Amino acid sequence: MSKLRNKAAGFTVLELAIVVLISGVVMAIATPKVTNAMREYRANIAMRQMVDALDRVKAQAVAENKRSAMMVDTANNRAGMATLTYDTPSALWVVDTIYYIPLPQGVTFTRPTASPTGVTSTTVTSMPSYGGSSTVFRQDFTSRGFPVVAAGTDVLSIFIGNGKSYRAITMTSVGGIRTYATASLVSAWVDTRY
């Protein structure tokens, strides 16, 4: 009786090999899907961060009844809000403090070759450069929460991506925000309005 019990208590090498093989097949199928889902999730989080930052800057300008600014640092993959102070001698709004938030891992300020309909910018952002920098940009907002733009039809745009999919955030001259997503360099942009 004890001999039968010992045989039934363990697994054979063949049984273990089959379990390892099945586990390997499941992992091979699931890993790319999980990786792609995480990549899309991070791109969507980054887009939400940009929209939230724009909304915070607009609200800050209205709350304090003075200009505020959105800052984008493409070299360090971060964006945020700047508080501004009016410098009377130079008659300019100068940056007082900047609060940056980094983009999620794997997401950068980048863009595909095609733009959403109505967006003419060919760079990662249409915001004016800050202090002559080619990697730091600043968009001012009036005390009423409207972006300071050169013409009434200008559209502010920011592009982010992860090399596989891209997001675009646009703002009209009256502060209307729209978001767009594309899954590749050649896919059509989809309006994902927030």
| pLDDT tens string 28-67 | 887 778 888 888 899 999 999 999 999 999 999 999 999 9
With a cut of 70, say whether residue 5 has pLDDT above it: no
CATH no. of 13-191? 3.55.40.10
pLDDT by residue (tens digit) across 75-95? 999 999 998 888 888 888 888
Coil, helix or strand for 160? strand
CA distances to 62, 74, 132 from 129, in Å = 24, 11, 6
pLDDT at 154 over 70: no
Helix (H, G, I), strand (E, B) or coil at 30: helix
pLDDT at residue 152 tops 80:
no
CA atoms within 13 A on the CB side of 108: 11
> Is residue 70 within 8 Å of residue 53, measured between CB atoms?
yes
What integer pLDDT is reported at residue 131 of this predicted model?
87
For residue 43, CA distances in Å to 86, 133, 157, 179 come to 36, 26, 16, 12
Domain boundaries, the chain: 13-191
